[in-house]
């Protein structure tokens, strides 16, 4: 069974440019999460989807970040425009049952220069 | 707000030694999870705990859900080189709206 697939693995962009990340969750996992992990820190939740509905986006900086999960499967996370402080690893995770924990993808390491 | 305090921040041990790390919070948690993250990868779930007092093992790893529901610990016995990495505790707060929050991690180094 394929795990959570994320692309790209690495992205380097100049500040003020847009960037998008893509995530394909494990088949059958209705819940999808986007996390941001800053260097030396634990992951912090940005947004959680139940199927195609964003049920918790309270930590998503909505002035520049947006996300979508069309058809309740794949998801994209976009930043426009990117700022220097957005440099981090963006992790996607999916789960069937919250109490069983998540399965994380390998992440996208974003560097904004 | 709800935060997890994970300690120690980092550990330097000899191969073969036992390791102990813990996670505490001022809030009550329903679920405790322990993850390991290798460089360039996402965290991988090691152990999940669901009841106060629960003690669960996964090979050389043992974790416990604290009686007060505000803490958890992870032990690794007879460490080996592949144990190197960052260990994160994570938990679902009792009043967290199904949210799971993560600690800042314990970085484990094994000396040659």
Question: Across the interface, do A56 and B99 touch by the CB < 8 Å criterion?
Answer: yes
Measured between beta carbons, which residues in chain B are less than 8 angstroms from residue A41?
Answer: 104-105
> Which residue spans within B1-112 are E strands per DSSP?
5-7, 10-14, 19-24, 29-37, 44-49, 55-58, 61-65, 71-76, 85-93, 101-102, 106-111
Among chain B residues, the shortest Cα distance to A91 is held by B42
pLDDT of residue A70: 84
Q: If phi over 0 gives left and psi between -120 and 50 gives alpha, with beta otherwise, what is residue A34?
A: beta
Among chain B residues, the shortest Cα distance to A102 is held by B45
The answer to whether the beta carbons of residues A95 and A31 sit under 8 Å apart is yes
Is pLDDT of A1 > 90? no
- The minimum CA-CA distance between B29 and chain A, rounded to whole Å, is 12
pLDDT of residue B32: 94
Closest to B87 in 3D by CA, of B13, B1, B20, B2: B20
How would residue B1 be classed by pLDDT, with cut points 50, 70 and 90? low
Is pLDDT of A113 > 60? yes
Measured between beta carbons, which residues in chain A are less than 8 angstroms from residue B104?
Answer: 40-42
């Amino acid at each position: 069974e394929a795990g959570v697939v994320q692309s790209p693995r690495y992205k380097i962009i100049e500040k003020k440019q847009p960037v998008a990340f893509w995530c394909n969750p494990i088949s059958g996992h209705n819940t999808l999460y986007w996390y941001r992990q800053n260097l030396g820190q634990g992951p912090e939740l940005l947004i959680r989807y139940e199927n195609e509905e964003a049920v918790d986006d309270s930590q998503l900086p909505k002035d520049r970040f947006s996300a979508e999960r069309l058809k309740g499967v794949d998801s994209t996370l976009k930043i426009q425009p990117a700022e220097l402080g957005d440099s981090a690893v963006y992790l996607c995770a999916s789960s069937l049952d919250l109490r069983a924990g998540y399965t994380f993808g390998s992440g996208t390491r974003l560097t904004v220069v | 707000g709800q935060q997890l305090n994970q300690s120690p921040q980092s550990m330097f041990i000899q191969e073969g030694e036992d390791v102990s790390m813990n996670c505490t919070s001022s809030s009550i948690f329903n679920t405790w999870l322990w993850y390991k993250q290798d460089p360039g990868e996402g965290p991988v779930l090691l152990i999940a705990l669901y009841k106060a007092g629960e003690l669960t093992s996964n090979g050389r790893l043992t974790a416990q859900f604290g009686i007060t529901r505000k803490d958890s610990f992870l032990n690794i016995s007879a460490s080996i080189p592949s144990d190197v990495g960052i260990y994160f505790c994570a938990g679902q707060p009792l009043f967290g709206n199904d949210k799971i929050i993560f600690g800042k991690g314990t970085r484990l180094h094994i000396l040659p």
